[in-house]
Amino acid sequence: MNDAIQNRLLNELASNLASAFEGMTGERPQISTEASSGEPHTSALLRREQFSGVPGAIWIAAAEPDWLAGGALVLEAAGITESDPEKHKAEFQEIVEQAVSGVARAMSQWLGREVQREQREETPPAAAAWSAIEVRQGKSRFHLLAAIEPELAAAFAQPEQALEVRDKPPAFDLLLDVELPLSVSFGRAEVPLKDVLKLTTGSIVELNREIGDQVEVIVNNCVIARGEVVTLDGNFGVRIQEVISRHERWKTLG
């Protein structure tokens, strides 16, 4: 039973790694998992991820060439060609944190109560059963090692806590009815103050878009999508053609 739960947790981690990379790069990588006979090198980047109200933890390790490659993948997607290893490490650890937070959300559904990640970094266990997670995206290919502590798997081994989605929604669902302001930008222009003062009724301001170009859909001053203008029952609307990646959203905020 515990082996099946460990595999379920490992697959959940791999799936959330793919989602985290997709959110940061705009492209979903291929992910595969397999048992590993090796252990992390003493110089590897090592994380022990714990969760609130649940015993045990998930271990995640990556050798320097692997976390450098993962960080570079994220930075290149944002148009950054930095060679600073610390920036690569920071981006890679952000990916790991997002993936583990996704596992915590899955645990919340399985248990019917909120579970949060409580990250710790410590010395690895003496006898961990490590699995290799391979990430492939474009020409990039790198690995992570992951191990599920038996105590964590045992927390879901009781029949009433089998890996089933409960009716109770996770805490995030409570936010889904919150209303946010949405606007559509047809274009922008920079105009000298002297020309702004000359504006009168009938004046024309040239925007930075041509007819047929996509318009931007903006929520809370952040561009989240692009699309084309349509009419519906006499009103204007926007048909969404592209949902932009997380890094593009950061750039539009800048």
Does domain 2-175 fall into CATH 3.40.1550.10? Answer: yes
Give the distance, in angstroms, between the CA of residue 151 and the centroid of all CA atoms in the same chain: 27
Q: Count how many Cα atoms sit within 13 Å of the Cα of residue 113 in the half-sphere of its side chain.
A: 6
Cβ–Cβ < 8 Å for 116, 97:
no
Across 104-118, average pLDDT: 86
**Which sequence spans correspond to the domains of the chain?**
2-175, 182-253
What DSSP designation does 114 have? -
Tell me how far apart the alpha carbons of residues 107 and 244 are, in angstroms, rounded to a whole number: 28
Tell me how far apart the alpha carbons of residues 67 and 91 are, in angstroms, rounded to a whole number: 9
Across 13-39, average pLDDT: 88
Quote the pLDDT of residue 66: 94
What contacts 41, CB < 8 A, 6 or more positions away?
Answer: 63
Residue 16 has pLDDT above 50, yes or no: yes
User: Which of 79, 74, 22, 13 shows the shortest CA–CA distance to 47?
Assistant: 13
- Structure confidence at residue 168 as a pLDDT band (50, 70, 90): very low
Q: In terms of CATH architecture, what is 182-253?
A: Roll (2.30)
Across 22-47, average pLDDT: 85
Strand order in the sheet with 54-62: 30-35, 131-137, 140-148, 54-62, 45-51, 117-120
Give the distance, in angstroms, between the CA of residue 20 and the centroid of all CA atoms in the same chain: 3
Q: Which residues pair with 237 in a beta bridge?
A: 230
pLDDT tens, residue by residue, 72-107? 998 888 888 777 899 999 899 999 999 999 999 988
Nearest 5°: phi and psi at 193? -55, -40
For the chain, the C-alpha Rg in angstroms (whole number) is: 23
Question: Helix or strand or coil: residue 137?
Answer: strand
Across 191-197, average pLDDT: 90
2-175 and 182-253, same CATH topology: no
Question: Dihedral through CA 66, CA 93, CA 53, CA 114, nearest 10?
Answer: -110
